[in-house]
Amino acid sequence: MSSPDPATDAPLLEIRNISKFFGSVIALKDISTTVRAGQVTCVLGDNGAGKSSFIKVLSGVHRPDEGELVLDGRPVAFDTPRHALDSGVATVYQDLAMIPLMAIWRNFFLGSEPTTGWGPFRRFDREKAKAVTRKELGDMGIDIRDPDQPVGTLSGGERQSVAIARAVHFGARLLILDEPTSALGVKQAGVVLRYIVQARDRGLGVIFITHNPHHAYPVGDRFVLLKRGRSLGDFAKSEVSIEEITRMMAGGAELEALTHELAGDPGARAVAAQLDEDVTALGLKQGG
Amino acid sequence: MTTVVGDRVVDERVARIGVLRRILLKPELGALIGVVIVFVFFAALSDVFRSASGVANWLDPASTLGIVAVAVALLMIGGEFDLSAGVMTGTSGLTTGLLSTYYGWNLWAAILVSLLLALAIGFGNGYLVVRTGLPSFIITLGSFLMLQGLNIGITKLVTDTVQVGAIEQTTGYRAAHAILASTVSIGGTRFQIAILWWVLVTAIGAWVLLRTRFGNWTFAIGGDTGAARNVGVPAARTKIALFMAVSAAAWFVGTVNAVRLTSVQANTGVGLELTFIVAAVIGGCLLTGGYGSVIGASLGALIFGMTSQGIVYAGWDADWFKFFLGAMLLLAVLANQFVRRYAEQSRR
C-alpha cells in the first residue's frame, strides 16, 4: 500500500487497515500508514474527519474493530492508555493532560512520580522531580523561569513544549501529538514545530495530527489525509505537494479559489494567508 | 540567560518572583491572618480567653472539628464534597454505643466494627460518585439523609429512646478513655487529648498532600479528572480512598465524643457537615477542587473554636456566633480569590 521510503529501516509502527465503528457510525474505515523512528507522519483532516478517533485507537483509549497495529514488527492491542505508554507510545492531547493549578514539576511527573523512602514513609521525591524537570526542559531548549510556577501561568506554546518534554522523558519512542498548534498564534506555533523537529532528530517517531497543511508540510515526512472517516491517501513527502494536500482537504478547493482571487496584489496575499489561518482556527473552535 | 552553578541551573528571572509573592501564593495564608486577627480581637476583650484554661477551652472544639476538616479538605482538593461527614460522627458513635451497651460487646470490638461500617459507607459514597459521575453533592446528600433517618430509627427501635448511654460501664472503657478522651496536664491546665490527635492528623494530612504520590494525585483529580486519568493517575481509586478517609475521620471524632460523653444522641452530628466545609474553605480550599491546604483547614477549625468560645468569654449572646462565622467565611473566600489572582497574574 505505501511506497518504499528513503529510510529503509523497519517501521516503528505500522497501522494496517484500521476501522472503528460506534454503533451505526463509521468513525474510521481502512486507515493505513507507517511511522518510522526519526520521522514525522502527519495526519491531516478537517473537523469530523476522524482524527480524534484515530488518536484514541493509537493511544489505547479505543480498540480498533478491524485491522491491526504492528509495533516493532509485532501486532499489539492496547487495552488502556497506560498499556500504550508502557509500550513507548505517548500521546500529547489537545487539552494537554496538564492541571493548570499545579506546579510544572508536579505536572511533569503526574502519574509517574519518583519516590524515595520505604514502607509507609515512601514519598514523592520532590528534589529529584524539580531537578529532572529543569534538566529535561533545558535539553529541549525550553527556557522555563521556575518549575514551581503553576502550569496555568504558561503560554500555550510553553505548555505544549512541557507536555512534549514530559513524553520524551518517560521513554516515549513514538509521540502522538493531537493538534498541538491549533490554538496557538503564528509565533507560538513555530516554537512548537521546532520542538517537533527536535523530538524527531532525537530519533523519535512522531505522529502529528493537524488540520493545517502549512504546519504539517514543513516538518512532515509522510502525510495521511482523512475525510469523513476514510483515508484519501498515504503519501511520502516526495509524492505530494502542499497545494495538493490543501486541495484534497475539506474546503481546500474553495479556499484556493479565494486565495487566487486575493493574489492579485502582494498585500492581499498576506491577508489570504492570514485568512487561511483564521478559517482553520475558527473551524477548530466550532468543531471542538 | 541561564547560568549553571554546580549541577543546578539558575535562572536570573526566578529572583523576580519575590519572597512576598511566594508567601502570598500559599493557600493557607488567609486563614493564618484570620487566626491572628480573631485571637487578638478576643484576647483584647477577655482575660480568660488568653489564659491557659481559656486556650484549653477553645482548642477543644477546634480539635474535634479540625480532625474531620483535614479529611474534608483533602476530599475537596480532590474535587468532591461529602455532606454525610457530619451525621457520620453520629452513626459511628451510635454503632459503638449500641453494640457495647445493648449487645454487651467489648468496647474495642464495637469501635472496630463501627470503623469498618464507616469505611464501608465512605467506600459506598466514593464508588457511587466514581461510577455514576453524578455530583458528589447529591450522592452524599442522599447518604446524609439516609444515615440521619437510620440513626434515629434504629436507636428508637433498640432503645425506645433517642439516645444511647452508659458507655462507661462497658468492658474496655478505661483503656478507650485513656487513649481517646483523657486530659493531659500542662502547667496545671488540663488539655483534651483530642488536641494531640488533631495535631497528629493535621501533620499526617499535610505530609500526604504535599509529599506523597497520593497527594499529587489528589491535586490532579481535583484540577482535571480526565487529564489526570489520561496520564495514568488511578482517579477512581484515589477518589474512593478520599471518601473513605473522610468517613474514617468522622468515625474517629464520633468515637472520641461517645467515649468522652459516655452517651450519644440520635441526632448527633447533623449540621456539622457544613461546618467542616466552612473550615476547609476558610483554609483556602477552592470549591471547584484542585487547590487548597490541609494546614489551612486546621487553621479554619481553629478560627471556629476561638470564635465559638470567644463570644462566650466576651459575654455576648452566643447567637452572634453564626453571624461571625458567616462573615469570616465570606472574608476568607474574597481574600483567597484576590490573593490568588494577584499572585498568578504577577507570575507571567
Write out chain A residues lying below 8 Å of B233, CB-based. Answer: 110-111
Q: Is B122 helix (H, G, I), strand (E, B) or coil?
A: helix
Q: Where are the alpha helices (DSSP H) in A96-241?
A: 104-108, 126-139, 156-169, 186-201, 213-219
* Band of pLDDT at residue B65, cut at 50, 70 and 90: very high
Percent of chain B with pLDDT over 70: 91
* B41: contact with A, CB 8 A cutoff: no
- Is the predicted pLDDT of residue B21 greater than 80, yes or no? no
Give the model's pLDDT for residue B17.
53
Q: Is A38 helix (H, G, I), strand (E, B) or coil?
A: coil
Question: Is B2–A138 a contact, with Cβ atoms under 8 angstroms apart?
Answer: yes
Cell 505530494 sits at which residue?
Answer: A240
* Band of pLDDT at residue B267, cut at 50, 70 and 90: very high
Question: Is B227–A96 a contact, with Cβ atoms under 8 angstroms apart?
Answer: yes
Question: Is A97–B230 a contact, with Cβ atoms under 8 angstroms apart?
Answer: yes
> For residues B249 and B194, is the Cβ–Cβ distance under 8 A?
no
Per-residue pLDDT of chain A (288 residues; tens, 9 = 90+): 444 444 456 788 888 888 888 888 888 888 888 899 999 999 988 877 888 888 888 888 888 898 888 988 888 888 887 788 888 888 887 666 688 888 899 999 988 888 888 888 888 998 899 888 888 888 777 777 678 888 887 877 788 888 888 888 887 889 898 888 877 777 778 888 888 888 888 888 999 998 888 888 888 999 988 888 888 888 888 888 888 888 777 555 566 566 666 666 666 666 666 666 665 655 444 333
Give the model's pLDDT for residue A58.
87
- Is the predicted pLDDT of residue B12 greater than 90, yes or no? no
DSSP assignment of A3-30 equals: PPPSS-SPPSEEEEEEEEEETTEEEEEE
* B341: contact with A, CB 8 A cutoff: no
* B216: contact with A, CB 8 A cutoff: yes
Q: How many CB atoms lie within 10 A of CB A178?
A: 22
**A81 CA: distance to closest CA in chain B (Å):** 7
> For residues A19 and A230, is the Cβ–Cβ distance under 8 A?
no
Give the model's pLDDT for residue B243.
98
Give A247: exposed, middle or buried? Use CB within 10 Å, 0-12, 13-18, 19+.
middle
**Rg from Cα positions in chain B:** 22
> For residues B230 and A97, is the Cβ–Cβ distance under 8 A?
yes
Residue of A nearest to B341 (CA): A153
Mean pLDDT of chain B: 89
B145-171: pLDDT as tens digits: 999 999 999 999 999 999 998 899 999
* Band of pLDDT at residue B346, cut at 50, 70 and 90: very low
**Mean pLDDT, residues B233-250 taken together:** 96
Chain A residues near any Cβ of chain B (below 8 Å): 81-82, 85, 91, 93, 95-102, 106, 109-113, 115, 122-124, 126, 131, 134-135, 138, 143-146, 149-150, 152-153
DSSP assignment of B322-346 equals: HHHHHHHHHHHHHHHHHHHHHHHHT
* Band of pLDDT at residue B13, cut at 50, 70 and 90: very low
Write out chain A residues lying below 8 Å of B8, CB-based. Answer: 131
Q: Where are the alpha helices (DSSP H) in B133-193?
A: 136-159, 173-176
Residue of B nearest to A133 (CA): B9
Give the model's pLDDT for residue A6.
46
DSSP assignment of B10-31 equals: EEGGGGGS-HHHHHHT-TTHHH
Q: Please enumerate in sequence order all residues whose Cβ is within 8 A of that of A243, keeping only pairs 6 or more positions apart, or say none.
A: A256
Question: Is B227–A99 a contact, with Cβ atoms under 8 angstroms apart?
Answer: yes
Instruction: Pick B196 or A114 by higher pLDDT.
Output: B196
User: Tell me, what amino acid is at B146?
Assistant: M
User: Tell me, what amino acid is at B302?
Assistant: L
Q: Is B285 helix (H, G, I), strand (E, B) or coil?
A: coil
* Band of pLDDT at residue B56, cut at 50, 70 and 90: very high
Give the model's pLDDT for residue B201.
97
> For residues A238 and A220, is the Cβ–Cβ distance under 8 A?
no
**Mean pLDDT, residues B301-306 taken together:** 94
Distance CA A44, CA A216 (A): 8
Nearest to B232 among A82, A99, A131 (CB): A82
Length of chain B: 348
Question: Is B223–A85 a contact, with Cβ atoms under 8 angstroms apart?
Answer: no
Phi/psi for A190 (5° steps) reads -60, -40
Chain B interface disruption, residue of A110, A121, A164, A166, most B CBs within 10 A: A110
Q: Residue B346's Cα: distance from chain center in Å?
A: 32
Write out chain B residues lying below 8 Å of A146, CB-based. Answer: 11, 13-14, 17, 347
Residue of B nearest to A125 (CA): B211
Give the model's pLDDT for residue B8.
44
Residue of B nearest to A150 (CA): B344
Q: Is A67 helix (H, G, I), strand (E, B) or coil?
A: strand
User: Which grid cell sits at B52?
Assistant: 491557659
Q: Select from A42, A43, A34 the least CA-distant residue to A5.
A: A34
**B214 CA: distance to closest CA in chain A (Å):** 9
Distance CA A112, CA B70 (A): 26
**A186 CA: distance to closest CA in chain B (Å):** 20
